[in-house]
Structure 1
């Protein structure tokens, strides 16, 4: 039985002037998880926010905080993000020399461990850490900016990763260019967790967010057979 499809709005596309209210709005609008994109201006060409912001918004929702660390090195900051309220901490395979150790450290902090790969990175880097992870995140754009176009070539990679996962209890997440036009294809390829930024926050109101999330969820469901 496939896992239920999860929609994880990326707060990178939220209005940062009223971030707490935006968190509450997407919670009420039907978000399953809250995706937090942490960028350092070094590993990726942008700067977003750090653990203090996550700590500040944590009381505004009980939904899972899915924290995607686009930072290098990541290891020195894992404990800070864990203490700030992250539920899942995802590190990039490309961000450090010891991926296995990083994933062990996340789990040692009592958090679920995720690993991300960029579009040019082969899924083979995952082969020897599959038993260390709770989530695999496939970037379908190059990390660093919201609003980019979906890279179609990643669909085959998603299919191969789904086959690698087999019956392991690992969620397969996709981030980048996910909207009502691409949701069905990534789900058909094997994804079960969809990160969407601009496609969710378009419209700027609770009603708009509810409609956007519902539309993405409905589109994603069409990618599942039967």
Structure 2
């Protein structure tokens, strides 16, 4: 699965930018509050507007200080997947239950330096694990390959039946890094500048998907 990140899109032309990736599986929306991360992007009103102009499922990544208040609102609005950070959530089990009750998938994200092991039991309440492969906050950063150890650990847990999460990765994904991420066991790849910095975003999405499928061997 390929999820283009609109963080790298032209914010003045978001509807057109969304229309430029018709083959995308999800559309990744980075919500930042300038507190949890040092950047300020978009919020719920923009997500509601996007839902009116696209059928691509929205993958909302909340990089905010108060996900306990806000996560369910994105689910209520119609987001397909709502991801919160374990480092910010006060009651992540409650968040997951609220988000799922609204018919959305619940996602849990970990920063590059956050270990996976303490949160394995918590992930049983979630549908998606988002592994950050850059420090959250800004697009265009260099991929951190060390996070792939967490991906491999998650893949083993999923393949062994201990977890049922979809494994997603976000940060520095492009034609040079997607193969190693796919080989490690990623299911869904967030790609921002690699897609929206390309002359043909739709063709880039298709190319990234082919590369990931070939490297994963799981198709």
What residue number does 1:32 align with? 25
TM-score by length of 2: 0.94
Counterpart in the other structure of 2:101: 108
**Structure 1: gaps of 5 or more residues:** 1-5
The answer for the alignment partner of 1:173 in structure 2 is 168
Where do 4+ consecutive residues of structure 1 move more than 6 Å?
A: none
Of residues 43, 47, 51, the one that matches 1:54 is 47
Kept in 2: contact 1:52–1:84 (CA 8 A)? no
| 8 Å CA contact retained: 2:68, 2:91 | no
Cα RMSD after superposing both structures = 1.4
Report the counterpart of residue 8 of structure 2 in structure 1.
13
In 2, Cα distance between equivalents of 1:81 and 1:224: 32
Equivalent position of 1:3 in the other structure: none
Structure 2 Cα separation of the partners of residues 90 and 125 of structure 1: 18
1:86, 1:111 within 8 Å by CA — same for their partners in 2?
A: yes
The yes-or-no answer on 1:185 pairing with 2:180 is: yes
**Displacement, 1:192?**
0.8
| CA drift at 1:220 | 1.1
The corresponding residue for 1:136 is 129
Q: Which stretch of structure 1 is more off in the superposition, 65-74 or 163-172?
A: 163-172
Q: CA deviation at 1:109?
A: 2.4
Alpha-carbon separation, structure 2, partners of 1:190 and 1:102: 26
Quick check: 1:158–1:189 contact (8 Å CA) kept in 2?
A: yes
Q: What is the aligned counterpart of 2:36 among 31, 38, 43?
A: 43
Deviations along 1:79-118, one digit per CA (max 9) or x if unpaired, are 3212322111111000023222221221122211010000
Contact 1:180 1:220 in 2 (8 A): no
Number of aligned residues? 216
- 2:9 matched to 1:22? no
- Unmatched 5+ stretches in structure 2: none
Given that 2:62 and 2:71 are in contact with CA atoms closer than 8 Å, whether structure 1 keeps it comes out as no
Q: Secondary structure at the match of 1:177?
A: coil
Distance 1:219 1:41, change over 3 A: same
